Structure 1
């Protein structure tokens, strides 16, 4: 098997700078989980939206990723990546706070929800493009898998507590007020980032136009065998899983007739799988190889979604069924993400992190709005349950991209892959 960086990985939990970054990410992720539940519930409970309108709301969150290829090239030319991350956090906090303000004046509209989704998505793109270089400044290559595991554990933990707390908050204080939690989390993240001492290296003198850098990022992703396979795989997974994501809360609320609290409990309980998957990812990778672990995750992530269509019975059975499906799916997504993310960073030249991330995200995340819109169309025409089956089975086929690439034979991050 091929190996892809060495030197013993440092103890990241003893690195104050990484710990601070990790805490900031954890706080922000927790707030995001509240908003992910609250935003569609605002639309469903206050505005009586259709499946197509819910899918548009989900699509708008991810639509700015289509511009990621340009944002990434622009970020590569900036020295102060941390400053850009702080600005992105502050933008998202202000935008989200507009919802509770509008609610207090009984002025929430679908147009405002769409704008909030679009602007928070734009802030997320800016943050993600700058985060790539900031991550590399904090973490040595030998610790990429461990660092991604820790950050993914936080993300998984947020899926455990976030939906349950979010569902409770929505029922107790209404969805628009619950969004305040996410706004505060962004403020906390910005404050913590500001206190992290880091040496940010100025980019080399610009020899190319922004459009040339954009083209370089696209060419890198398309021509590199590892990046090309990873992009094909994750884009396929994202397309199909977002068919389901766009409709899951609507399906649980309308077809399964579950309350906001019950939906939060089901999603939160299932997310324990993500916590376990993130913790296990480095161990499984060492046991069977990085590439094989990623392939296992690619199948386990989307396939269980097809079983969502079979959930039924009394309330406890519906909640338990959704939780079990989310549990297995969450293990899968972490086995995939932790290993593929580490591999992608390892094979990317240090001076091309932003434009590679932009090119990659433009396709990988840009396809999510398309998946959400297709989900809305299919949910309207063939029904929610058949659409969920299509999403689960179609997503599992993404593993074929990795099977036909060098990724399947990569064991560890030890030497540069070509």
Structure 2
């Protein structure tokens, strides 16, 4: 079946409010993620081990809170759950602000309050994609997810710089005050969204509901390879990222500013990819867009590894740019795919499972520490190419890349107990592959 470009579908005002809330929430997160370690190290004298524990506290919620957050997102109104998450983040950051002003802050308190703030981030990250299909028509899902990811890339690029600058220029208080204000603004924007009511579903044991969501995703022929690819990608990504800074300083002879510029190209690539995503989704077969990200990740890692025999900051920067631009198309397209094929009563749990794959990132960092300690950063970069090749192989041998169009989804009002397995095979009329 030949591919025809998708028409542009305008996004409704309710989604515009959600996008504004997302921008504010993502900015608050990035400012806090930059300010908390800076305060701990420069203000409180935290050493390497303490800084490592602090980073663990800030990332642990993605591993342990994503699935419970998904369960709550399927049981409770998602708009209210997200607003509550932002208020939790605001309360945690406001407490840090008060402690900083009173001179009572300590790194264990920062770790505990940062953990609570990150829990709010996880809830928002899980419930947000589950809310989007209720606010926009199916034809606009790709554009809507691109808007969400564009906001995330803007916050990713600007939030850490703003947080660091505020702490450096004015102290910790103003940085946390800005983050609190942004979280409160996000909660206010969410309060103005009219979330459509969902059909009531019978409450069952939480563990049974969690297994139900996991079973749907693992058994689905399109979602299963996506999840596997995400796990491998996150491992490879942090394997490369953890090794790059010492490699760039030693092998590429870059100073702190040069390393910052090269790493900044990753965020720039993310913004470019998010800006181009709606047009790419309209013009290319949907499955091809899904496959672009893993191929870009492989190409990016190969470009960075090529700097071993050919030391070049420009080549490394090109690799980091590709690592941002291509995989952001993966995030947008696979989020859209997940929203399209998952019944509404299961969206939160399936979204939570996707967010939990970020728990593979510490595995990649630990692998970099092991391999780098034994054989050097160059070995880490070569190994990253191998792992990126594996994630590309996983998705390009799956039916997901053969989709010509976004699949027609199930009845979003159906009972989840009747949706534990996909109702259509990938070769049905709604999922006809494009001509290769």
TM range (shorter): 0.7 to 0.9
**1:249 and 1:119, CA in 2 relative to 1: closer, same or farther beyond 3 A?**
farther
The CA deviation at 1:88 is 0.3
Aligned to 1:75: 73
| Contact kept? 1:60, 1:369, Cα under 8 Å | no
Q: For 1:253-402, what aligned pairs fall within 5 Å after superposition? A: 257-258=255-256, 267-268=263-264, 270-301=266-297, 304=300, 324-362=318-356, 364-376=357-369, 378=371, 386-387=379-380, 390-391=383-384, 393-402=386-395
Residue-pair matches, total: 403
Task: State the match for 1:415 in structure 2.
Answer: 408
Query: Do the aligned partners of 1:28 and 1:189 also contact (CA within 8 Å) in 2?
Result: yes
Structure 2: 5+ residue stretches without partners: 410-423, 426-436
Q: Quote the offset at 1:117 in angstroms.
A: 3.5
Query: Residue 159 of structure 1 aligns with which residue?
Result: 156
- The separation in 2 between residues aligned to 1:310 and 1:112, in whole angstroms, is 43
> What CA deviation, in whole Å up to 9, does each residue of 1:251-283 have, x standing for no partner?
889995526xx7766554542221211122233
Deviations 1:279-300 (A, max 9, x none): 2223333443222222221232
- Residue pair 2:237, 2:384 contacting (<8 A) in 1 also: yes
- Distance 1:16-1:100 versus aligned 2 partners, 3 A rule: same
Matches within 5 A, 1:2-13: 10-12=9-11
Determine the C-alpha separation between the residues in 1 that align with 2:150 and 2:13: 18
Map 1:113-262 to 2 at 5 A.
113-174=110-171, 177-206=174-203, 208-245=204-241, 257-258=255-256
Q: Is the 8 A contact 2:22 2:151 kept in 1?
A: yes
Matches within 5 A, 1:22-37: 22-37=19-34
Question: What CA distance in whole angstroms lies between the structure 2 residues aligned with 1:2 and 1:223?
Answer: 28
Q: CA deviation at 1:412?
A: 1.7
User: Are residues 129 and 379 of structure 1, via their aligned partners in 2, closer, same or farther at CA, if it must alter by over 3 Å?
Assistant: same
Greater RCO between the two (CA within 8 Å, min separation 6)? 1
Question: Which of 46, 49, 53 matches 2:47?
Answer: 49
- What is the aligned-residue RMSD (CA, Å)? 3.4
Q: Find the counterpart in structure 2 of residue 20 from structure 1.
A: 17
Equivalence for 2:416: none
Q: 1:187 to 1:242 in 2, by over 3 A?
A: farther
Q: Give, in angstroms, the shift of residue 125 of structure 1.
A: 2.3
Quote the offset at 1:134 in angstroms. 2.0
The answer for unaligned runs of 5 or more in structure 1 is: none
- 1:217 deviates by 0.9
- Distance between the aligned counterparts of 1:358 and 1:277, measured in 2? 24
Give TM-score, length-normalised by structure 2: 0.79
More displaced 10-residue stretch of structure 1: 185-194 or 283-292 = 283-292
Contact 1:69-1:217 at 8 Å conserved across structures: no
